[in-house]
Amino acid sequence: MSEPIRVLVTGAAGQIAYSLLLSIAKGDVFGKDQPIILLLLDITPMLPVLEGVVMELQDCSLPLLRDIVPTDKEEVAFKDLDVAILVGSMPRKEGMERKDLLKANVNIFKSQGAALDKYAKKTVKVLVVGNPANTNCLIAAKSAPSIPKENFSCLTRLDHNRARSQVAIRCGVPATQVTNVIIWGNHSSTQYPDVHHCKVNMSGSELACFDAVKDDAWLKGDFIATVQQRGAAVIKARKLSSAMSAAKAICDHMRDIWVGTPEGEFTSMGIYSTGNSYAVPEDLIYSFPVQIKDKTWKIVEGLAINDFSRSKMDATAAELIEERDTAVAFLGV
Q: Which domains does the chain have, with CATH numbers?
A: 5-154 (3.40.50.720), 156-323 (3.90.110.10)
pLDDT of residue 192: 98
Q: Quote the crossing angle between the two packed helices 307-331 and 133-142, to the nearest 10°.
A: 50
DSSP strand pairing (5-10 vs 36-41): parallel
Q: Provide the annotated binding site for substrate.
A: 92, 98, 131, 162
Instruction: Catalytic residue, from 160, 187, 197, 253: name it.
Output: 187
Nearest to 257 by CA among 125, 122, 113, 116: 125
Radius of gyration of the chain measured on its C-alpha atoms = 19
Specify whether the CB–CB gap between 251 and 23 falls below 8 A: yes
Using CA atoms, how far apart are residues 23 and 20, in angstroms rounded to an integer?
6
What's at 274, amino acid-wise? T
Mean pLDDT, 10 residues at a time, the chain of 333 residues = 94 97 98 97 98 98 98 98 96 76 92 98 98 96 97 98 98 98 97 98 96 98 97 92 96 98 97 97 98 98 98 98 94 68
DSSP strand pairing (205-208 vs 199-202): antiparallel
What's at 174, amino acid-wise? P
Task: Give ∠ CA 53-69-27 in degrees, rounded to 5.
Answer: 70
pLDDT of residue 333: 52
Distance from CA of residue 88 to its chain's centroid? 13
- 187 catalytic? Reply is yes
Helix H or strand E segment including 54: helix 47-59
Using CA atoms, how far apart are residues 48 and 278, in angstroms rounded to an integer?
48
Q: Provide the annotated binding site.
A: 42, 92, 98, 105, 129-131, 162
Q: Provide the annotated binding site for NAD(+).
A: 42, 105, 129-131
Residues facing 208 on adjacent strands: 199
pLDDT of residue 90: 87
pLDDT of residue 97: 76
